């Protein structure tokens, strides 16, 4: 399906041509057909909770004129990341007093069975089935649900109610039919989705950001946000003074006064540092200093470092929250420089969604939000979405607002990446487009890699490390994720314990070894409306990564060009400074060299640097352990091995001899950074 969207500045136009097999899933049903008078409605108390709070929710369902007959019922969809206080009680034990779900009140003339059905990771369901009698019009059913709220915030967390019939449907309204033992079941959602607000807690953490490469005497500002213990914007206003701490002789008022009117967000400054050097800077207060950041004051460095997250989801596919909330969190809580919302194609192929009890076009709303939040010099957004198939997931980005197509695998035309890429290259003739592979959790088949569309690959997200592909590593610590032998591709990238995978399947190293010229980036892949969040969502999750782009200015065009040039690097979420050069080439570049190859790095850490690893053709060829409390390191090492002996030949995407190098940096706090590679080819042009 192709959905053409005009931005908020122009009129919306929709051209949807769904395939027949998906008609029943993507019909736009008028809301008046979902009458609360007929099928009932639900309300929730309390209407507002704190993130991470243990709470008892009460769902009050009032029956409509059709009531609920024996063996029929309703089910309540519990949104993503809500959890019960005791998971052992989820198996059909909801009627017991000690369980997490109970019926508090029901009509005396009926008996209702309540169950909690666990369907992680897409959330849970509370099933109510009438076992005796019939629920009549205006009968009320009150359900208690003891739970813990998610650790993220949203103004509109939706709890949907599905009305179900066992047997023949009794009217002509559109129903979804499911063939099950005992006969068909028909279901439909009530007209009113019930919402609950999740707010941040008390002020607990300081988060700050600034341009970390500055020129001597050049003014700069510091952005500060006050967060709760889960790193959401705090709901209670901080009214106090913070202090800028730096190892540099800084000019400017280092006492930052917050007032209630600041809403826990403030831009402090201007500041100046006159003396060139390498420094650390932090913000102190709230009985806890913020993480300190490295800062380089050097007039010879023309490019700046911009931090972002180009991978995340909202309620428009399989996430929580809305586009405006998504971009607002990225800008104001995470203090990112750029972001993109990449909802799944199978969510966007159903073009309409219920928002505030009215139909809204998803793609138009995403495009409107991206356009409204795009503010060059302050915060940059890109229109985007995620396409997925058995061979891996791919995020598709557009440079410009205006018409952008959703090419979905649900459409028979675009079920394979080859067909998708063919269409994207046609679109590229009129508007710039690029693709970034998402390699984590889902294995990636690099056979369809396209040099005209793919410039970087996502090496880290909250799914773990995608450097090599090993399903068993998904939820281990970062240090364990990197414990596999990088030279043993067959063990870690060609098997999953059940079947032999294609030779083109693997992590990012596999693609590089196949000759793909890809820079490295990080993203979060959060489904909780929190791009750039710097703490894990829960005990079973890793936190998302960061994408660092080296560019001259903060604009769509400048960032886009730097990505195409692979002038970028990835981290596990720490704002580490990293420069990697090989002879006279920088990250993302290619050189010809027959002699020794001198690898040099300069790194500034948010914590002491622990280890440096130089990687050639996927294997560590030199490692340097760093002792002491060193935050800034400059280090070089020469690879003098003969190029002809180490060159990769006859690779799928580059048949000529080549080698690739990149660097991996470990901090004492287990944060990691990966540079984009530098490629080497023989200096002798005839040496092929």
CA distance 210 to 221: 6
pLDDT digits (tens, 9 = 90+) for 593-612: 768 899 999 999 999 999 99
The pLDDT confidence band at residue 50, using thresholds 50, 70 and 90, is very high
pLDDT of residue 534: 77
CA angle at 460 for the pair 456 and 465, rounded to the nearest 5° = 120
Give the per-residue pLDDT at 123. 65
3-state secondary structure of 380: strand
Place of tokens 């992680």: 120
Query: Which DSSP helix (H) or strand (E) runs through 24?
Result: helix 23-26
Q: Is the pLDDT of residue 495 over 60?
A: no
Of 207, 291, 248, 279, nearest to 607 by C-alpha is: 291
DSSP assignment string, 227-267: E-TTSSBPSSPP-SEEEEEESS-EES--EEE--GGGTTEEE
pLDDT at 271: 97
As given in the structure block, the two tokens for residue 161 are 């109610």
pLDDT band at 97 (very low <50, low <70, confident <90, very high): very low
Per-chain mean pLDDT for the chain: 81
Lowest mean pLDDT among 115-119, 567-571, 650-654: 115-119
- pLDDT for the residue 440: 64
Confidence at residue 687, expressed as pLDDT on a 0 to 100 scale = 38
Question: So what's the pLDDT on residue 255?
Answer: 95
Take residue 286 and report the two structure tokens written for it. 């709230």
Q: Is the pLDDT at 88 greater than 70, yes or no?
A: no
Locate 13 and state its tokens.
């136009």
Using a 10 angstrom Cβ sphere, with 0-12 exposed, 13-18 middle and 19 or more buried, the burial of residue 300 is: exposed
Least confident segment among 185-199, 256-270, 314-328, 494-508: 494-508
Higher pLDDT: 481 or 577? It is 577
- Per residue in 235-281, pLDDT (tens digit) is 999 999 999 999 989 999 999 999 999 999 999 999 999 999 999 99
Examine the pLDDT at 390 and tell me if it is beyond 90: no
Q: Quick one: average pLDDT of 363-374?
A: 91
Q: Look at residue 491 and tell me whether its pLDDT is greater than 70.
A: no
397-436 pLDDT, tens digit per residue, is 999 987 678 888 877 788 888 899 999 999 999 999 999 9
Q: What is the DSSP letter of 123?
A: -
Average pLDDT for residues 533-548, to the nearest whole number?
76
DSSP 408: -
CA 69 from chain centre, in angstroms, equals: 43
Does the structure show a pLDDT above 90 at 658? yes
The reply to whether the predicted model has a pTM over 0.75 is yes
Q: Which of 69, 73, 62, 68 minimizes the C-alpha distance to 138?
A: 62
Residue 95 is predicted with a pLDDT of 35
- DSSP letter for 652, please: S
Residue carrying structure tokens 């990149």: 662
What's the CA gap between 381 and 86, in Å, rounded? 40
Residue 319 has pLDDT above 80, yes or no: yes
Phi first, then psi: give them for residue 234, nearest 5 degrees. Answer: -65, 145
The answer to whether the CB of 17 falls within 8 A of the CB of 1 is yes
The residues, ordered by sequence, that sit 6+ positions from 398 with a Cβ below 8 Å of its Cβ are 382, 383, 384, 404, 431, 432, 433
Q: What is the pLDDT of residue 79?
A: 82
Contact 39, 137 (CB under 8 A): no
Q: Is the pLDDT of residue 482 over 60?
A: no
What is the DSSP annotation of 414-474?
GSSHHHHHHHHHHHTTTS-EEEEEE-SSS-EEGGG--TTTEEEEEEEETTEE-SS--GGGT
What is the reported pLDDT for 475? Answer: 29
Asked if residue 660 has pLDDT above 90, the reply is yes
Q: What are phi and psi of 514, to 5 degrees?
A: -80, 0
Distance between CA atoms of residues 104 and 102, nearest Å: 6
Backbone angles phi, psi at 241, to 5 degrees: -120, 135
Burial 86-109, CB ≥16 within 10 A → b, else e? eeebbeebbeeeebbbbbeebbee
- pLDDT tens-place string over residues 344-367: 988 887 655 555 555 567 888 888
| More confidently predicted of 518 and 8 | 518
> Which of these, 159, 141, 52, lies nearest to 102 by C-alpha position?
141
DSSP conformational letter for 500:
B
Q: Is the CB of residue 290 less than 8 Å from the CB of residue 208?
A: yes
**Residues 557, 400 contacting (CB under 8 angstroms):** no
269 Rama sector, left if φ>0, alpha if ψ -120 to 50, beta otherwise: left
Q: Show the domains of the chain with their CATH numbers.
A: 35-190 (2.60.40), 205-285 (2.60.40), 308-573 (3.20.20.140), 576-688 (2.60.40.10)
Other CB atoms closer than 10 Å to residue 129's CB: what's the count? 18
- In this prediction, residue 119 carries a pLDDT of 61
Q: Tens of pLDDT along 160-198? A: 888 887 665 555 445 555 555 555 567 777 766 788 999
pLDDT value for 539? 55
What pLDDT sits at residue 488?
34
Q: Which of 191-195, 553-557, 677-681 has the lowest mean pLDDT?
A: 191-195
Q: Are 657 and 625 in contact (CB under 8 A)?
A: no
**Does residue 5 surpass a pLDDT of 50?**
no
Contacts of 446 (CB under 8 A, 6+ apart): 437, 504, 505, 506, 510, 511, 514, 516, 652
Backbone angles phi and psi of 343, in degrees to 5? -65, 150
Please enumerate in sequence order all residues whose Cβ is within 8 A of that of 88, keeping only pairs 6 or more positions apart, or say none. none
């Amino acid at each position: 399906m192709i959905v053409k969207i005009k931005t908020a500045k122009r009129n919306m136009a929709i051209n949807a041509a769904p395939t027949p097999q998906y008609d029943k899933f993507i019909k736009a049903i008028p809301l008046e057909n979902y009458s609360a008078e007929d099928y009932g409605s639900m309300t929730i108390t309390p209407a507002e909770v704190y993130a991470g709070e243990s709470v008892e929710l009460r769902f009050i369902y009032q029956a409509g004129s059709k009531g609920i007959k024996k063996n029929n019922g309703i089910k309540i969809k519990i949104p993503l990341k809500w959890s019960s206080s005791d998971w052992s009680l989820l198996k059909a034990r909801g009627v017991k007093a000690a369980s997490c779900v109970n019926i508090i009140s029901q009509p005396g003339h009926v008996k209702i069975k309540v169950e909690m059905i666990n369907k992680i990771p897409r959330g849970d369901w509370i099933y109510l089935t009438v076992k005796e009698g019939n629920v009549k019009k205006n009968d009320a059913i009150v359900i208690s649900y003891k739970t813990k709220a998610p650790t993220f915030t949203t103004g509109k967390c939706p709890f949907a109610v599905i009305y179900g019939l066992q047997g023949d449907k009794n009217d002509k309204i559109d129903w979804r039919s499911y063939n099950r033992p005992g006969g068909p079941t028909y279901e439909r959602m009530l007209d009113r989705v019930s919402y609950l607000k999740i707010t941040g807690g008390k002020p607990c953490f300081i988060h700050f950001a600034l341009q970390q490469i500055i020129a001597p005497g050049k003014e700069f500002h510091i952005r500060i946000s006050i967060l709760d213990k889960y790193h959401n914007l705090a709901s209670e206003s901080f009214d106090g003074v913070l202090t800028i701490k730096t190892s540099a002789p800084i000019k400017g008022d280092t006492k930052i006064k917050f007032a209630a009117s600041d809403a826990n967000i403030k831009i402090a400054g201007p500041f100046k540092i006159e003396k060139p050097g390498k420094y650390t800077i932090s913000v102190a207060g709230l009985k806890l200093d913020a993480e300190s950041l490295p800062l380089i004051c050097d007039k010879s460095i023309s490019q700046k470092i911009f931090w972002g997250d180009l991978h995340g989801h909202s309620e428009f596919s399989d996430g929580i929250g809305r586009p405006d909330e998504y971009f607002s969190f990225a800008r104001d809580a995470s203090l990112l420089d750029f972001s993109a919302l990449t909802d799944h194609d199978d969510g966007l192929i159903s073009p309409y969604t219920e928002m505030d009890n009215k139909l809204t076009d998803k793609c138009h709303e995403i495009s409107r939000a991206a356009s409204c939040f795009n503010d060059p010099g302050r915060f940059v957004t890109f229109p985007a979405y995620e396409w997925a198939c058995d061979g891996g997931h791919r995020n598709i980005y557009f440079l410009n607002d205006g018409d952008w197509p959703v090419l979905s695998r649900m459409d028979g035309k675009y079920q394979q990446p080859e067909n998708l890429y063919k269409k994207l290259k046609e679109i590229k003739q009129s508007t710039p487009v690029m693709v970034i592979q998402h390699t984590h959790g889902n294995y990636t088949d690099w056979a369809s890699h396209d040099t005209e569309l793919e410039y970087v690959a996502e090496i880290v997200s909250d799914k773990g490390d995608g450097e090599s592909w090993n399903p068993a590593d998904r939820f281990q610590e970062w240090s364990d994720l990197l414990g596999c032998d990088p030279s043993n591709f067959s063990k870690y990238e060609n098997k999953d314990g059940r079947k032999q995978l294609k030779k083109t399947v693997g992590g990012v190293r596999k693609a590089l070894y196949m000759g793909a010229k890809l820079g490295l980036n990080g993203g979060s892949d959060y489904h909780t409306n929190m791009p750039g969040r710097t703490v894990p969502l829960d005990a079973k999750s890793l936190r998302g990564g960061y994408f660092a782009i080296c560019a001259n200015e903060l604009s769509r065009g400048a960032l886009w060009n730097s990505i195409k040039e692979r002038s970028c690097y990835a981290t596990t979420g720490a704002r580490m400074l990293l420069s990697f050069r090989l002879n006279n080439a920088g990250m993302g570049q290619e050189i010809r060299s027959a002699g020794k190859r001198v690898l040099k790095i300069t790194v500034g850490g948010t914590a002491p640097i622990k280890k440096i690893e130089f990687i050639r053709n996927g294997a560590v060829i030199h490692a340097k352990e760093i002792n002491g409390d060193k935050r800034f390191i400059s280090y070089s090492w020469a690879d003098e091995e003969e190029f002809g002996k180490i060159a990769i030949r006859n690779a799928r995407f580059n048949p000529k001899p080549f080698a690739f190098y990149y660097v991996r940096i470990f901090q004492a706090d287990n944060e990691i950074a990966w540079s984009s590679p530098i490629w080497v080819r023989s200096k002798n042009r005839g040496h092929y």
